[in-house]
Amino acid sequence: MTMRYLTAGESHGPQLTTILEGVPAGLTLTVEDINEDLARRQKGHGRGRRMQIEKDTVDILSGVRHGQTLGSPITLAVTNDDWKHWTNIMGIEPLTKEVEEVKRKVTKPRPGHADLNGAIKYGHRDMRNVLERSSARETTVRVVAGAVARKFLSELGIQVAGHVTEIGGIKAGLQVIDDLQDLKAKTEASPVRCYDKNVEQEMMDAIDTAKKNGDSIGGIVEVIVEGVPVGVGSYVHYDRKLDAKLAAAIMSINAFKGVEFGVGFEAASLPGSMVHDEIAWDEERGYYRLSNNLGGFEGGMTTGMPIVVRGVMKPIPTLYKPLQSVDIDTKEPFQASIERSDSCAVPAASVVAEAVVAFEIAKAIVEQFGQDRMDVIKGNVQRMRDHAAKF
């Protein structure tokens, strides 16, 4: 058995739910551990009115007893407070004439969204059936799953932190980040989750300008993970390479269009002598790298250096000055409808990126070091660290 999760729910449905399977028994877990990350996801300069409507908190409905995981599936639910305004539009009961009048049928696909492709794939003439599930609102419960994974990793001495490195072409200055607690403190206090305070206001100004112009902007987020033992992942099969799994996880986040590790795409223009991380050894540290250009990976496996992964988020495609589209019923040109009002969600996406990275690493560790009990996994991880140090 491996760790996995399944999410369910629509953007304006009654609740969003995730079920986690394979979380080891004996992990200390409370709603406070999860609600902290849910609150972080809702922050950020440029967020829209939905963040003021929904105050997301989680209910733990199974798999935890007296603050400890049982090893059985964990059910976690986040109630949509705005559901009361959508009961007719999103209700599960068959349509009545009264409900038909408030159904708010969507026939105009929005460029950049899943609307048209999803409608064609599943045969929906009302594209609300598509947009309600393809909405980034679903990332709420992915953050929930990631919060459980983060708690698991913390018990093993593994830290995960994320931050924003670019918004709308405004780039943070290159800084050495060697203290993740400091990174967390500074980015948590930043409206744009940026470590470089010198560009913080420029980023906010860019967001405000985009909103004033009825437009949106994207950016880049970076996730750093420290404390992962050497050799997590594998080189023996393509589908066991951990960096590949992390790349897929980042790309699965709504609106993400690119991913890189370490120097990433810059490696294409550099000589090998400036890319590969030289190896050193001493009595205290064992083996280590003199640089971390490869972002903590070689051959699909962790090197023991910090994992550094970045993702590129495109501008949100729903704009206040809508792009042209075509009504699927009339085939007439039309301006795409507006379903949300964020002008920039990059700071929130940083929290989502932390969550998906944390989950993939937790999953890999459970698979490699034991599945059922926290004490067994802790012991196995420590033995691997000792083995690497003495090798």
Domain limits, the chain: 4-390
The single residue listed with the structure tokens 């109630």 is 79
318 is in an annotated binding site: yes
47 is in an annotated binding site: yes
62 is in an annotated binding site: no
Q: Within 10 A of 305 (CB to CB), how many other CB atoms are there?
A: 21
255 is in an annotated binding site: yes
Residue 100's pLDDT is what? Answer: 64
Residues in the chain: 391
216 is in an annotated binding site: no
Residue 267's pLDDT is what? Answer: 97
134 is in an annotated binding site: yes
Separation of alpha carbons 52 and 29, rounded Å: 27
Residue 167: phi and psi, rounded to 5, are -140, 125
Separation of alpha carbons 287 and 306, rounded Å: 14
Label residues 346-384 b or e (16+ Cβ within 10 Å = b).
bbbbbbbbbbbbbbbbbbbbbbbbbbeebeebbeebeeb
Separation of alpha carbons 19 and 16, rounded Å: 10
353 near 225, Cβ under 8 Å? Answer: no
Residue 336's pLDDT is what? Answer: 67
Separation of alpha carbons 135 and 137, rounded Å: 5
Which is nearest to 347 in space by CA: 126, 134, 189? 189
250 is in an annotated binding site: no
The single residue listed with the structure tokens 């140090």 is 389
Q: What is the pLDDT along the chain (391 residues), one digit of tens a residue?
A: 689 999 999 999 999 999 999 999 999 999 999 999 999 999 888 766 655 566 899 999 999 999 999 999 999 999 999 999 899 899 898 877 766 665 678 999 989 999 999 999 999 999 999 999 999 999 999 999 999 999 999 999 999 999 999 999 999 998 888 899 999 999 999 999 999 999 999 999 999 999 888 889 999 999 999 999 999 999 999 999 999 999 999 999 999 999 999 999 999 999 999 999 999 999 888 999 999 999 999 999 999 999 999 999 999 887 777 789 999 999 999 876 565 567 899 999 999 999 999 999 999 999 999 989 999 999 999 999 999 999 9
Q: What CATH architecture applies to the domain 4-390?
A: 4-Layer Sandwich (3.60)
Residue 55's pLDDT is what? Answer: 85
135 is in an annotated binding site: yes
315 is in an annotated binding site: yes
314 is in an annotated binding site: yes
